[in-house]
Structure 1
Amino acid sequence: MQADDIRVEIVDAARLGPAERAAWRDLRATDPVLASPYFDFRFIEIAAQIAPGAKLAVVRQGDAVQGFLPFQQRGALLQPLAAPLSDFHGLIAAPGLSVARLLAQLPGVRRARFGGLVAAISDDLPGLAPRRAMAADLSHGFETYLAGRDGRFLKDKRRRRRSLERDHGPLSFSFRPATRDDVALIVARKRAQIQRTHQYDVFACGWTVSLLEQLADASADDFGLRTATLQAGGQVIAAELGLLSGGRYHLWFPIYDPTFARYSPGALMTLDTLEALAAAGVTRVDFGVDADNYKRDFADPFEAVFEGLIERRRGPRGHPMRMMGAARLARRFDRIVACEPGLVGQLRGGGGFLTAIARRHPRLGAALGLGFGLVGLAMMVD
């Protein structure tokens, strides 16, 4: 599909008409990777109401809808809608539509940052770093899933479960639609963990918490936020928020009580969650991208996703996009820019993050320098 064959319209997601919504459902149904809850229009509509700078590009060829790109804009930088919370993102589109070509038609956009771009085509790939989506296949039931896991891992977790129950009382597990109280509990404990580990607090900006609350309010039988909770002797020792869309589930925000770490409460809760999901008819559970080794205990690599920065060269008449790979530091700054739409908030967040780096890694902090880091942060959105 050629760029000059298409036209792009920026609309409010809430005002998308019945024909466009039907086109969204049809396009999503044609590609299995778009079954992720992040591509469910119910998620998009809620996120578009809450995420600052939210926009929706509708791509047409003649009178026919060819695709959609949900995004949020920070100055000249395009990010996935609801970043940094949206682990997977990309076009909901007919085959052959290129992200890079589409970006060239969006006014005011000079660069775009992706962390889990799915369904990309060759025009989008040069220079972007490939990663793998990690997922648990539950399509043949929980017992079949267990048969494919490492026996030593499962034996160890059975032993830890027995020890936990012996030392702290009966275990109980629940899996249910999330409430605002669940969101408050998990966010509070997640923020405490963030503070302990000197990470950037993605919940400090406020709108990210509001998104989770609205998703909890919007829960339906086949969609919405869910809470998994593991208790020992009546005490919550692990919990997690996840997102459901039909037969697909995405594990999202886990927490556990560090005083119970030797029992692996997070792993025990994950196994219980997978069993509950399989019983409910969920066929695939997403763990995000292959960034953490622990995911391989539960999940296997599935389709490729891509990470990186796409930058348009300056010049007349829209030069092709130049691709640049993502650096770890850029990912961290990207979260700050995503959470903080204003320059003051971005500089405050960047300063706090660099101070935390300096505390944890004095040599790295000295090498970066506060001024250098903040200049780099400002350049991302310029």
Structure 2
Amino acid sequence: MKITVVRPRDLGAAESLRWRELQRASPGLDNPFLSVEFTMAMGALRDYVRVAVVEDGGEITGFFPHERHGFGLGRPLGGYLTTCHGLISVPELKLDPRELLRACGLSAIDFDHLVAGQPTFAPYETDVRPAPVMDLSGGFEAYVERVRAGSAKNYKTVRYKERKLGREQGEVRLEWACADAGTLRTVMNWKSDQYRRTGRVDRFAQPWIVRLAEELHSRRSDDFAGVLTMLYAGDTPVAGHFGLRTADTLVGWFPAYDPSFARYSPGIIHHLHMAEHAAGAGLRRVDMGKGGREYKEWLRTDALMVAEARISRPSPVAAVQWVGRVPVNRLRTAVVDNPSLFRAADRLLKSYGRARSLLLPRPTTEQSTKAQ
């Protein structure tokens, strides 16, 4: 077994082709965050991105994209930006994870969205939970019937709000795979405002993340693409989403809406229309990602299992990281698992966000882009 660590730009056409073959061969790897295209885009923008190439008998059996930060601290590729991490490999590949870390020059790495059950990492999984999925394999109408059967009241309420939106604001329609850069900026600005209102970290305040979204928005292939959707009432945009897809799966990434239309629940209306267009485009599922949002629970008709895990080699750096991160991660899990605590934390963050918005006005995404 041989492990070689390279930068993404050092991967040749043969390695990229092998990556895609391994990903297609394992249904559990059907996620655009595990695609070679995403790794390449990240590597072009961030100097700390690396790929461990695993060979056995002269044949490539796996790839491990990751981030290598100071003092040998590792992070999964994309860190908090992404919702799927793991090895892209033959299904039976089982490495000594500490030897993998050693080859990568890492002292420790934490996962919070690890593909569950991979032989290399399974012994280190500390928390495994479902990530909600909209299963479109039987077509959109079959999906809707399952949603209606599982939560008829919620479905009826959303459709009522959609009709009300149409009567009061104009015909409701969704644009699928929108190529307009201005529409992407609208979604990013809405999302930035949402982050600030709710007390979260504004991803799009970082110019490189804006550039990443713009770069991925321009990608178009059968195996990988950025997908921008926008819901309109008449000619007015009310809710949108930018995500990534493989040939079969669309992954939720940046959903957002205009808060002046909040009374209509435009985000949920958008999700239903997005699912309908996804099914029409031949996609088999929409992965909404794990998280504590109630709408995901009643829109879901299936689930994928994702895990948290921590792997380390004995070192002072790993010990310091454990002290700083593990207790916080456990507290976060406890809050997410308890609905009362989650609602209380959400209210607190929103109060903080409102106060911060009054004190710290944020530049628009256009200004952030110009600052690059």
Query: If the length of structure 2 is used for normalisation, what is the TM-score?
Result: 0.80
Structure 2 equivalent of residue 245 of structure 1: 246
User: Is 1:22 aligned to residue 22 of structure 2?
Assistant: no
Partner of 1:288: 289
Q: State the shift of 1:21 in Å.
A: 2.5
Task: State the partner residue of 1:70.
Answer: 65
User: Counterparts of 1:265-344 in structure 2 under 5 Å?
Assistant: 265-314=266-315, 327-328=328-329
Post-superposition offset of 1:308: 3.7
* Equivalent-residue separation in structure 2 for 1:217 and 1:330 (angstroms): 39
Deviations, residues 213-268 of structure 1 (Å, cap 9, x unaligned): 11112223553111111112321111111112112111210111222212110010
Q: Distance in 2 between matches of 1:295 and 1:190?
A: 18
| One-letter amino acid of the structure 1 residue matched with residue 36 of structure 2 | F
Change (3 A) 1:105 1:178: farther
Which amino acid is the alignment partner of residue 115 of structure 2?
Answer: V
The CA distance in 1 between the partners of 2:255 and 2:46, in whole Å, is: 22
- Whether 2:242 is the aligned partner of 1:233: answer no
CA distance in 2, matches of 1:107, 1:246: 30
Selected match of 1:129 from 104, 127, 130: 127
2:53 and 2:64 in contact (8 A); partners too = yes
> Post-superposition shift, 1:201?
1.6
Task: Tell me whether 261-270 or 15-24 shows the greater mean CA deviation.
Answer: 15-24
* 1:165-223 Cα shifts (integer Å, max 9, x gaps): 22222222211244432332211121111111221122222211111111112223553
SS of aligned partner of 1:176: coil
The answer to whether 1:84 aligns with 2:80 is yes
Corresponding residue SS for 1:105: helix
Query: Residue 54 of structure 1 aligns with which residue?
Result: 49
User: Structure 2, unaligned stretches of length 5 or more?
Assistant: 334-347, 354-372
Query: Greater share of helix residues, 1 or 2?
Result: 2
Provide the rounded CA distance (Å) in 2 between the counterparts of 1:305 and 1:25.
21
Structure 1, gaps ≥5 residues long? 1-5, 333-355, 362-382
Instruction: Tell me what 1:103 maps to.
Output: 100
Q: Is the 8 A contact 2:124 2:310 kept in 1?
A: no
Q: After superposition, give the CA deviation of every residue in 1:85-116 in whole Å (9 maximum; x if it has no partner).
A: 22101100121324724533234311102121
Q: Which moved more, 1:108-117 or 1:173-182?
A: 173-182
Amino acid at match of 1:144: A
Q: Deviations over 1:17-47 (max 9, x none)?
A: 3332232122212210111111222222122
| Map of 2:110 onto structure 1 | 113
3-state SS of 2:205 partner = coil
Report how many residues are paired: 330
* Equivalent position of 2:189 in the other structure: 188
State the alpha-carbon separation in 1 of the partners of residues 313 and 302 from structure 2: 32
Question: Residues 256-314 of structure 1, C-alpha deviation per residue, up to 9 Å, x if partnerless?
Answer: 12222121100101000000011111111110124322211211442321124323223
Task: Identify if the C-alpha distance between structure 1 residues 168 and 251 changes in structure 2 by more than 3 Å, giving closer, same or farther.
Answer: same
Q: 2:98, 2:311 within 8 Å by CA — same for their partners in 1? A: no
Contact 2:127 2:307 in 1 (8 A): yes
When residues 305 and 37 of structure 1 are mapped into structure 2, their CA distance, relative to the original with a 3 A threshold, is: same
User: Are residues 1:147 and 2:148 paired?
Assistant: no
State how far apart, in whole Å, the 2-side matches of 1:154 and 1:357 are. 29
Q: Are the structure 2 counterparts of residues 272 and 127 from structure 1 closer, same or farther at C-alpha, using a change threshold of 3 Å? A: closer
Aligned-residue offset at 1:123:
4.8
Q: Bigger shift: 150-159 or 300-309?
A: 300-309
**Percent identity of equivalent pairs:** 31
SS in 2 for 1:289: coil
Distance 1:31 1:290 in 2: 25
| Partner of residue 5 from structure 2, selected from 7, 10, 27 | 10
Moved more, 15-24 or 98-107: 98-107
